Amino acid sequence: MRTFIGIDLGSTTTKALLLDENRAILGRGITNSRSNYDVAARVSKQEAKIGARFTLLSKALGSGGGTALLLSDLERNFRLEQFLSELRQLEETCESYLDHPRFQENKGALREALAAVFRRIESEAPAIYAPGAQRKSDFFRDIAGSRFMNLAETVCREASLSFETMLNLYDKSIIDIEGRVSPDGTVARQLRSGLSRAYREVKGVGVGEADAQAALEKVLDIGLEETYVVGTGYGRVRLPFPKEHIRSEILCHGLGAHMMFPGTRTVLDIGGQDTKGIQVDGNGIVTNFQMNDRCAAGCGRYLGYIADEMKIGLHELGPIAMKATRSTRINSTCTVFAGAELRDRLALGETRADILAGLHRAIMLRAMSIISRSGGVTNEFTFTGGVAKNEAAVKELRQLVRENYGEVTINISPESIYTGALGGAAFALRAVLQ
């Protein structure tokens, strides 16, 4: 099967998307961006291919009763298998570093401490991927790292070991693990194991296990040919692609937004490092655009900085801001001064919710200024990028658009973060078929 791939290398995450020859989306993949952009591109591409396997399996099983439940259970259990496999690799890598001279004095005690930490994480893993379980992140580094640090601190205290030493072992090892891409054979084995787990866990899903196994084998036999790949995003110039396989973020977000919502005429993309206001015509061709300057103020990085200052997760910013009773006026969205102003506001008795509501409004005011310089908001208006998942940002955007441009259709998709990758995949398809 011929596939056309778009890879969007952002400053925080790298996204990949696969299209088939009929412009249908086969799969999407996302991973942390790394210093090694080649690896980030390959991991996101592999994740998109895994998504394609699920799409093809859904078609093979049909829309009969139980298919959706089976696929959901399979995905959870596949991710559990994937997590356990990476956890074993992480443990083996940590142990391999124990042969370094600096660890020789406490080698035995450190090995026991590592074993205690990893056995505990291993035992917790099924609960992390249980039905309905809430995870702060789907990335292995975030899940494993959080548990490792919490557990290692306790284990080291009880064993009179240096926590910094354990942390050093983890930091060295996780870099090695993130640099690996699982072979196709490993992914196939994890899918088979995940399917077996799903049937052990849930009975009577409406699809016979033998039928599901046969369908999975047929899907795994389908070759996913990388016919043409296009790269885009903040780090596109560092992607390991020929020049003709690179497209600008502006063009890809414009075309991607058009493919998602054909009536789109104005696009706002807020990424990790930049904000873009884009105007497109009826074919998704860019007619005008504006971007912020080199400063990352008001972008995803800024929100991450605020989350760090408040010692909360990035995903918690929106929900907390939604609890505000008023919006605190924020004087600066500069990351250099934001921390100081944040601390001052808290010292004056302002609530976190009110401060965050003000910060979200300040960010969207900055975005509206960029849109205005690009030509303003024309119906329909599409919001793309990771910040589109932030409910407080969306609330402020809707209000500001209504105040300045009246009742305009605002398109926001749960898959907005993949818009640039979708545009890249569309350019890849055009390069071959048009």
Is the pLDDT assigned to residue 335 strictly greater than 90?
no
- Provide the pLDDT for residue 286: 97
Can you tell me the distance from the alpha carbon of 261 to that of 263, in angstroms, rounded to the nearest whole number? 6
Q: What percent of the chain has pLDDT over 90?
A: 62
Average pLDDT over residues 248-267: 96
Do the Cβ atoms of 392 and 317 come closer than 8 Å? yes
- Provide the pLDDT for residue 29: 97
Q: What is the mean pLDDT of the chain?
A: 90
Can you tell me the distance from the alpha carbon of 410 to that of 394, in angstroms, rounded to the nearest whole number? 10
Mean pLDDT is lowest, of 110-114, 137-141, 303-307, for 303-307
Can you tell me the distance from the alpha carbon of 25 to that of 17, in angstroms, rounded to the nearest whole number? 7
Q: What's the DSSP call for residue 330?
A: P
H-helix or E-strand spanning residue 135: none
- Provide the pLDDT for residue 65: 67
Is the pLDDT assigned to residue 296 strictly greater than 60?
no
Q: Residues, the chain, total?
A: 434
- Provide the pLDDT for residue 32: 86
- Provide the pLDDT for residue 239: 80
Average pLDDT over residues 176-197: 91
H-helix or E-strand spanning residue 203: none
With cut-offs at 50, 70 and 90, classify the pLDDT of residue 87. Answer: very high
**For residue range 42-60, what is the model confidence (pLDDT) as tens digits?**
999 999 999 999 999 999 9
CATH number of 262-412: 3.30.420.40
Is the pLDDT assigned to residue 338 strictly greater than 70?
no
Q: What percent of the chain has pLDDT over 70?
A: 95
Mean pLDDT is lowest, of 87-101, 228-242, 247-261, 407-421, for 228-242
Is the pLDDT assigned to residue 136 strictly greater than 70?
yes
**For residue range 153-176, what is the model confidence (pLDDT) as tens digits?**
999 999 999 999 999 999 999 988
**For residue range 271-295, what is the model confidence (pLDDT) as tens digits?**
877 889 999 999 999 999 998 865 5
Is the pLDDT assigned to residue 334 strictly greater than 70?
no
How much is the pTM?
0.89
Closest CA to 11 of 420, 390, 425, 426: 420
Is the pLDDT assigned to residue 9 strictly greater than 70?
yes
- Provide the pLDDT for residue 332: 60
Average pLDDT over residues 389-409: 94
Is the pLDDT assigned to residue 413 strictly greater than 90?
yes
What is the number of other CB atoms lying within 10 angstroms of the CB of residue 161?
Answer: 17
- Provide the pLDDT for residue 180: 85
With cut-offs at 50, 70 and 90, classify the pLDDT of residue 298. Answer: low
Do the Cβ atoms of 74 and 199 come closer than 8 Å? no
More reliable by pLDDT, 205 or 373: 373
Strands 381-384 and 266-270: parallel
Can you tell me the distance from the alpha carbon of 410 to that of 267, in angstroms, rounded to the nearest whole number? 10
Can you tell me the distance from the alpha carbon of 419 to that of 413, in angstroms, rounded to the nearest whole number? 9
Is the pLDDT assigned to residue 339 strictly greater than 80?
no
Can you tell me the distance from the alpha carbon of 200 to that of 389, in angstroms, rounded to the nearest whole number? 35
Measure Cα distances from 254 to 8, 231, 277 in Å. 13, 15, 10
- Provide the pLDDT for residue 38: 85
